[in-house]
Amino acid sequence: MSEGVVFIMIYLASQSPRRKELLQQIGVAFQQVHSEIDETPLADEDPEAYVTRMAEEKALAGWRQVTLEQLPPKLVLAADTSVILGMKILGKPKNEQQACDMLLSLSGKSHEVFTAVAVTDGNDLSVKVSRTMVQMTSFDRKVAEAYVATGEPMDKAGAYGIQGKGAVLVDTMTGSYTSVVGLPVKETADLLQSLGIDLWHSQSVKS
C-alpha cells in the first residue's frame, strides 16, 4: 500500500462535498456511494422525526447500493439537514424564486437547523440528532436576489450556506456550526467511535 493511502473505514451515503470535507477533517477514510430516496415529508410530520427518517432511509439506501455493487461490507453513514422555521420544514429550493422567498421568510428571524446522522451495518441502525438555533440578519429582496444570483442557495436547505457567501446573512448561532454546514462532527465522531471506528487517520482515498 502506498504511503498516505489507507483502506476505507466506512461508506458515505452522500454526494455532498461539505459532508465529504467534514469527514476528511476528522480523519475518517471513506468511499462515497449513492443513496437516492424520496425526501417528501409525510403529512404533519414532526421536523425531528422527518430528519431522523431521512438519515435512516439514506443510510439503508446506501447499504443496498453497497450490497448491489458487492463492495466489502463496512458501516454506511448518512445524514440529513433541514431548516425549520416555526414548524415548517424548509428543504432545498426548486428554483430561484423559491430560494428568494425562503430567504425573505428567514430575514430578521431565528430558526432551527436539525441534522440527523445515521450509521448502519445492514442490521443495526444508530442515529443521533443535532439541533442548532440560527438568528438571521434583516435584509431586503434586493439582497436576497443578489445572493440567489450567486447560485450558492440552490442546493442548500433553507437556501443559504453558512460556510459560504451566505455567512453574511447570519447574525448569531447557538449550537453546532458543523451541523448547519451539514454534518455535526461531535455526534458523528461519537457514533463512529461507539462502533469501533477510530479518528484522525492520514488518508488519501479515491471516491
CA pair distance 74, 66, nearest whole angstrom: 9
202 alpha carbon, distance to own chain's centre:
23
Distance CA 189, CA 67 (A): 25
Give the three cell numbers for residue 50. Answer: 422527518
Of 156, 200, 192, the closest CA to residue 11 belongs to 192
Residue 65 class from Cβ within 10 Å (0-12 exposed, 13-18 middle, 19+ buried)?
middle
198 catalytically annotated: no
The grid cell for 98 is: 423559491
**117 forms bridges with which residues in the sheet?**
79, 128
Strand pairing report for 125-136 and 110-120: antiparallel
* Residue of 38, 44, 46, 80 marked catalytic: 80
State the catalytic residues: 80
